[in-house]
Amino acid sequence: YLKISKLALAFAIIHSKPPGKSCKEYTEHLAKTVSEQDFGWKSKVEALEAEVLRLRQELLLNKICPRFCLENDATAEILLNQECINPMSYSGQLEDSGCDVSNDYAFDSLGIASDFHQSEHNVDTSKSSLERVPLLNLCCTSKEESLTAPVQFLRHLLEIRKLSEGGILQADFTQLENDPFTVCSSVSQLLDGLTVFYNSPKFPVSNFLTEAVCVLISLITDTKLSNHVLKKCFKKLEEFKKNLIQIILRNSSVNRFQALHAVSNTLVLLGRNNILRNSLISLLLSEVRQFAEQLLQAHQVLSSF
């Protein structure tokens, strides 16, 4: 049946091809047209799925704490506008690798380092409560746009958690058990977005990405919220850690030090969580062991000469 279908399609293309164009050219034109249509539909589906997830996030927040959602919108808009007017800027040059610098982007390695050290301070498990996660800069690049919705949603969860713990708001976190899909999908979307960025980072790294990592670590560190995340997203987190390690090992670009510094700092922050630490150390030791075996094999081959 497949052979007959292919033959019928071939005859149809031959009979319908315009004059002055070969069958091969016409076939390639048709294939390109169909693929563009598929891409268009795929983009529409992805946009609709993202909108559905955003609406589910809003609905879940409203179920957990309606008062928070009503009071937070006005202040959030004001603060976000201020953030867009006064975005953080970086100065300086890329760290010199000893070779020609092929990148003209400005980057302050000390600024990024201090951001991540501040992140470590904020998620210190010895503190009695989480630091309030600041509002984020939504003036993002295309890579960061996919992170906006999950970061905002998870940040709101953390804020509600802290305010309810202090008795300022009443919140019903049992709603998370009724709708585990929304939290799990949001965390997965955040992890995928961070992986895409770390695979091909752009400098200067905006503070939005730094805040995204802070939100993720704060969520995992929180004693009550982390259970909802780890139950459903543990495999996704393991995959994320593996990807970060592979990014460090595979990156062979000349000026790669800032990117690797950001990735390694994220691994350090993940390792602060007691549940994730053991598996992360196992992954790292596995890579070290594999490299040691490769060195041993190379040594044995060379010794034969």
Tens of pLDDT along the chain (305 residues) come to 999 999 999 999 888 888 888 888 899 888 888 887 777 788 888 888 888 999 999 999 988 888 765 455 444 444 344 444 444 444 344 554 544 444 444 334 334 444 444 444 444 443 333 333 333 333 344 556 678 889 999 999 999 888 888 888 888 888 888 888 898 999 999 999 899 888 887 766 677 888 888 898 888 888 888 887 888 888 899 999 999 999 888 877 766 777 788 888 888 888 888 888 898 999 999 999 999 999 999 998 888 77
Does 47 reside within a domain?
A: no
Quote the domain boundaries for residue 214: 150-166+176-303
Distance CA 271, CA 282 (A): 11
Does 22 reside within a domain?
A: no
Please indicate, yes or no, whether the overall pTM of this predicted structure exceeds 0.75.
no
Does 158 reside within a domain?
A: yes
Does 282 reside within a domain?
A: yes
Does 260 reside within a domain?
A: yes
Q: Considering its fold, how many domains does the chain have in total?
A: 1
Does 45 reside within a domain?
A: no
Does 228 reside within a domain?
A: yes
